[in-house]
């Protein structure tokens, strides 16, 4: 080989590999002593209001249980910004920072974490069905190093609410991204629950955010109500959905409260912030050794808050019954 | 962590080598790779979850990637569709094929067999299995490539990239060369997709987004740092370039930069690499001028 630079660089890389090999072979893995300060590694898949709220909630949930930043808690935070080629490296970075526990926000982040460790406990934030995503063996008895909070939304209560607001409701369209596990599962549940209530539910999957505006146009001429599952792609493009649907006088029922504030009509939603708080509390319990991931069932919220967007109702000319308005926990 | 990054760099190096086959040797950019990469991963992971051996599943992934490349090649040469467009068409079609194969947007390999299990008995420290897989597959690919490029077919292939008109005047079927190039290239890309999907523990429909940048980065970093090289050294330089690029990303994460700006930072680094030769020449000119003035 004539090129000295290339040869040198390859030798350097080989030496690094060999040196680490030797040192790691000799090193008897020392058990980490119980440190005063605990490190929580958080990996978030992408930024949008719903997931950001969860992150905020996690910090407050930890604080509620006595873990506060700069006192006895260090948070290492990584955000993949939807670039999956980096998630693996970011997971390893968190593990390398000697995180005592890991939190994955949204499914791809959780999968990346789960692939990197079977020892460090992992708490899932905002994964609809961890069992279906093969993250845990069983939602009731996870069995491994993973447990967490499900963001399964109360589809039945949501459809009941829709019928209460729109008594003549017949056709519902579900708009979701075909690139997300969560949404597909939830869309199928809407179809099943809708059938029980005599509604015609049709699924409208989109391959990426670029097809959303045409799809909403099509839906606007075919359905009475657009239902949005907890879907990262749609959440990111919420404004365009709202714009087109409102122009065509079609109300939107999202499954997340933050999306009602962005222009949805109403929902029975799990408060994303509460979801984060619950995740934070669960994390704290495991940190304190009060519970073990293997025996902690996946936490599922049984009831949600009724959230109504009065402005949007006015725009669409929909009259919300007074008793509903009274019972709603949040209105805008 | 250094080790795991080097291991991943090696496997990304296969992607770089694949892109080199078309981008440098044939002088055209092939967008198919953003489709064949996740396609290889998806087919491989699906195969494994269906009970296939990881090696067979990986090869199946390679096969499907070659098929994608072949399609682009046929669209380009026989259908007279411009190469960028042909690649983009196949890339976006792959999205649907992946959803059809996996029946869901992402598929996990948790508690399934992986190609890494082949080295279980060696009792290696963490992540050394990835390095081993990388070294073995990269060496295999480079040896096969060198062998191929030395044959008469390979020489005709290189000639097509150098000067298509002249090659045709020598009686070389240049269309055939382009089809071969696209097929081989996408097979290699799918291989890196399949290996990285096993390394990451899951396949996903949108994993291909932006990978063409990673492949080009490997090629460019290798070229800029090591300058003029023989063919065999050039192939090695791509792999080293790929490792360096991954180490660079690791460094950016480690330095605690806001990772929201990761893509901007890597773009800046790549752009500087691309400008480095020009800067060097300018600098030399100045130095020469000054010595002349004295």
Chain B: nearest CA to A207, how far in angstroms? 8
pTM of the model: 0.74
Among B1, B131, B249, the residue with its CB nearest the CB of A86 is B249
Q: Are A284 and A68 in contact (CB under 8 A)?
A: no
Q: Which residue has the higher pLDDT, A114 or A129?
A: A114
| Contact present, B228 and B28 (Cβ < 8 Å) | no
- Reported as a single tens digit per residue, the pLDDT across B142-155 is 999 999 999 999 99
Does the beta-carbon distance from B236 to A181 stay under 8 Å?
A: no
Nearest to B26 by CA among B227, B214, B164, B231: B164
Task: Please name the residues between 190 and 209 in chain A that touch chain B, using a CB distance below 8 Å.
Answer: 207-208
Mutate to test the interface with A, among B110, B195, B255, B267 (most CBs of A within 10 A): B110
CB atoms within 10 A of CB B36: 38
Alpha carbons within 13 A on the beta-carbon side of A31: 2
A1, A18, A115, A180, best to mutate vs chain B, most B CBs in 10 Å? A115
Task: Please report residues of B whose CB lies closer than 8 A to that of A3.
Answer: 226-227, 229, 233, 237
Q: Most A CBs within 10 Å: which of B12, B34, B105, as the mutation test of the A interface?
A: B105
Give the mean pLDDT of B161-184.
Answer: 94
Collapsing DSSP to helix, strand or coil, A299 comes out as strand
Distance (Å, rounded) from C-alpha B200 to C-alpha A113? 9
How far apart are alpha carbons A110 and A89 in whole angstroms? 13
| A113 contact partners, CB below 8 Å, separation of at least 6 | A43, A91, A94, A102, A104, A122
Mean pLDDT of chain A, nearest integer: 87
- Which of B6, B200, B246 is the closest to A112 by Cβ? B200
Which DSSP state fits A264? -
Look at residue A32 and tell me whether its pLDDT is greater than 70: no
Nearest to B236 among A10, A83, A90 (CB): A10
Phi, psi angle pair for A257, to nearest 5°: -65, -35
Q: How many residue contacts between A and B have a Cβ separation below 8 Å?
A: 136
Mean pLDDT score, B57-69? 97
Distance CA A249, CA B32 (A): 41
Maximum mean pLDDT: which of A93-97, B71-75, B224-228: B71-75
H or E element that contains A226: strand A225-228
Pick from A43, A91, A134, A181 the residue to mutate for testing the B interface (most B CBs within 10 Å): A134
Return d(Cα B221, Cα B114) in angstroms, integer.
31
Chain A residues touching B4 at Cβ < 8 A: 89, 92
State how far the Cα of B186 lies from the Cα of B197, in Å rounded to an integer.
Answer: 16
State which H helix or E strand residue A39 sits in.
strand A38-44
CB–CB of A86 and B1 under 8 A?
Answer: no
Residue A59 pLDDT class (50, 70, 90 cuts): very high
Q: How far apart are CA B213 and CA B16, in angstroms?
A: 10
Q: Burial code of B159-178, b = ≥16 C-beta within 10 A, e = fewer?
A: bbbeebeebeeeebebeebb
The distance between the two most distant Cα atoms of chain A, rounded to a whole number of Å, is 84
B291 CB burial (10 A radius; 0-12, 13-18, 19+): exposed
Is the Cβ pair B236, A6 closer than 8 Å?
yes
Give the closest-approach CA distance of B201 to chain A in angstroms.
Answer: 5
> What is the rounded CA–CA span in Å between residue A158 and residue A173?
14
Are the Cβ atoms of A85 and B1 closer than 8 angstroms?
no
Pick from A194, A193, A113, A107: nearest CA to A150: A107
Average of per-residue pLDDT across B119-134: 85
Q: Tell me phi and psi for residue A5, to 5 degrees.
A: -60, -50
Whether pLDDT at A97 is above 70: yes
B-chain residues near A203 (CB < 8 A): none
Calpha distance A216→A202 (Å, rounded): 13
**Residue B211 to chain A, least CA–CA distance (Å):** 8
Under an 8 A CB cutoff, do B125 and A80 touch? no
The reply to whether A117 touches chain B by the CB within 8 Å rule is no
Between A232 and B168, the higher pLDDT residue:
B168
Chain B window 200-219: which residues touch A at a Cβ cutoff of 8 Å? 200-202, 204-207, 209-211, 214
Question: Does residue B125 sit at the A interface (CB-CB below 8 Å)?
Answer: yes
Sign of CA dihedral B70, B76, B82, B83: positive
β-bridge partners, A123: A103, A147
How far apart are alpha carbons B142 and B231 in whole angstroms? 10
Higher pLDDT, B116 or B97: B97
Does B176 score more than 50 pLDDT?
yes
Residue of chain A minimizing CA distance to B126:
A24
Q: Which helix (H) or strand (E) holds B59?
A: helix B54-77
Task: Tally DSSP H helices, then E strands, for chain A.
Answer: 13, 13
Residues 6+ apart with CB under 8 A from B176: none
Alpha-carbon Rg for chain B, nearest whole angstrom, is: 20
Q: In what order do the strands lie in the sheet with A305-308?
A: A266-269, A305-308, A330-331
Q: What is the ipTM of this complex?
A: 0.70
Q: Is the separation of the CB atoms in A94 and A76 below 8 Å?
A: yes
Q: What is the mean pLDDT of residues B184-211?
A: 91
Please determine, for residue A303, whether its predicted confidence score (pLDDT) is greater than 80: no
Alpha helices in chain A, H assignment, sequence order: 4-26, 49-64, 84-96, 107-116, 155-165, 181-196, 212-222, 232-236, 238-247, 257-261, 272-287, 310-316, 322-327
Q: Say yes or no: B150 contacts chain A, CB-CB below 8 A.
A: no
Nearest to B61 by CA among B45, B83, B78: B45
Find which of A10-24, B90-104, B173-187 is predicted with most confidence, using mean pLDDT.
Answer: B173-187
> Over pLDDT 90: what percentage of chain B?
60
Look up residue A214 and give its DSSP letter. Answer: H
Is residue A204 a contact partner of residue A215, using CB atoms and an 8 Å limit?
Answer: yes
SS3 A16: helix
What residues of chain A lie within 8 A of the CB of B246, using their CB? Answer: 89
In order of A20, B7, B25, the CA distances from B235 in angstroms are 26, 17, 12
Instruction: Please list every residue in chain B whose beta carbon sits closer than 8 Å to the beta carbon of residue A25.
Output: 125
d(CA B292, CA A102): 63
pLDDT surpasses 90 at B79: yes
For residue A33, give the 3-state DSSP assignment: coil
Instruction: Report which of residues A214 and A28 the model is more confident about.
Output: A214
> Which residues 218-257 of B have a C-beta within 8 angstroms of A?
225-227, 229-230, 233, 236-237, 240, 243-244, 246, 249-250, 253-254
**In angstroms, how far is CA B73 from the centroid of its own chain?**
18
What is the structure's pLDDT at B109? 81
Spatial separation of the C-alpha atoms in residues B247 and B238, rounded to whole Å: 14
pLDDT at residue A289 above 80? yes
């Amino acid at each position: 080989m004539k090129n000295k630079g290339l040869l040198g660089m390859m030798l350097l890389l080989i030496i690094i590999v060999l040196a680490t090999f030797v040192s790691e072979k000799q090193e008897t893995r020392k058990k980490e002593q119980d440190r005063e300060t605990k490190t929580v590694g958080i990996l978030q898949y992408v930024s949008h209001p719903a997931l950001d709220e969860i992150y905020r909630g996690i910090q407050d949930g930890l604080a509620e249980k006595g873990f506060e930043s700069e006192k006895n808690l260090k948070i290492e935070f990584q955000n993949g910004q939807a670039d999956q080629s980096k998630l693996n490296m970011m997971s390893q970075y968190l593990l390398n920072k000697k995180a005592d526990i890991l939190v994955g926000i949204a499914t791809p982040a959780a999968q990346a974490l789960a692939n990197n460790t079977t020892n460090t406990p992992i708490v899932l934030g905002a994964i609809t069905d961890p069992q279906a995503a093969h993250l845990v063996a069983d939602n009731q008895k996870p069995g491994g190093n993973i447990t967490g909070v499900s963001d399964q939304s109360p589809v039945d209560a949501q459809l009941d609410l829709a019928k209460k607001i729109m008594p003549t409701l017949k056709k519902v369209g579900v708009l979701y991204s075909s690139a997300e596990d969560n949404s597909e599962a939830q869309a199928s549940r809407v179809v099943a629950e809708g059938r029980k209530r005599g509604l015609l539910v049709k699924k409208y999957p989109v391959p990426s955010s670029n097809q959303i505006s045409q799809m909403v146009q099509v839906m606007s001429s075919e359905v009475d109500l657009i239902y949005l599952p907890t879907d990262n792609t749609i959440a990111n493009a919420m404004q365009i959905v709202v714009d087109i649907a409102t122009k065509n006088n079609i109300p939107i029922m999202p499954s997340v409260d933050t999306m009602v504030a962005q222009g949805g009509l109403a929902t029975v939603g799990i408060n994303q912030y509460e979801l984060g708080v619950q995740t934070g509390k669960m994390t704290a319990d495991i940190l304190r050794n009060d519970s073990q991931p293997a025996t902690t069932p996946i936490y599922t919220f049984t009831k949600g808050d009724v959230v109504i967007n009065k402005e949007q109702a006015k725009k669409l000319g929909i009259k919300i019954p007074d008793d509903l308005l009274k019972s709603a926990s949040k209105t805008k | 962590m250094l080790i795991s990054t080097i291991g991943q760099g090696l496997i990304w190096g296969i992607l770089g080598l694949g892109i080199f086959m078309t981008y440098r040797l044939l002088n055209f950019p092939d967008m198919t790779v953003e489709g064949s990469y996740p396609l290889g991963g998806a087919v491989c992971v699906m195969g494994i979850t269906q009970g296939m051996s990881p090696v067979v599943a990986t090869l199946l992934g390679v096969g499907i990637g070659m098929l994608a490349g072949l399609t682009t090649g046929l669209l380009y040469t026989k259908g007279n569709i411009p190469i960028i467009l042909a690649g983009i068409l196949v890339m976006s079609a792959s999205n649907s094929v992946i959803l059809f194969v996996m029946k869901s947007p992402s598929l996990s390999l948790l508690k399934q067999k992986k190609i890494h299990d082949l080295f279980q008995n060696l009792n290696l420290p963490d992540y050394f299995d990835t390095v081993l897989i990388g070294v073995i597959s990269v060496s295999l690919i480079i040896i096969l490539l060198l062998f191929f490029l030395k044959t008469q077919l390979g020489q005709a292939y290189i000639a097509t990239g150098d000067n298509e008109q002249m090659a045709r005047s020598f009686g070389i079927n240049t269309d055939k060369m382009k089809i071969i190039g696209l097929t081989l290239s996408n097979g290699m890309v799918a291989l890196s997709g399949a290996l990285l999907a096993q390394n990451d523990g899951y396949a996903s429909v949108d994993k291909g987004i932006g990978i063409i940048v990673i492949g080009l980065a490997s090629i460019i970093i290798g070229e800029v740092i090591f300058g003029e090289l023989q063919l065999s050294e050039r192939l090695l330089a791509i792999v080293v370039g790929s490792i360096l690029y991954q180490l660079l990303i690791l460094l950016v994460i480690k330095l605690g930069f806001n990772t929201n700006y990761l893509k901007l930072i890597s773009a800046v680094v790549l752009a500087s690499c691309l400008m480095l030769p020009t800067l060097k020449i300018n600098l030399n000119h100045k130095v020469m001028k000054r010595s002349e003035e004295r």
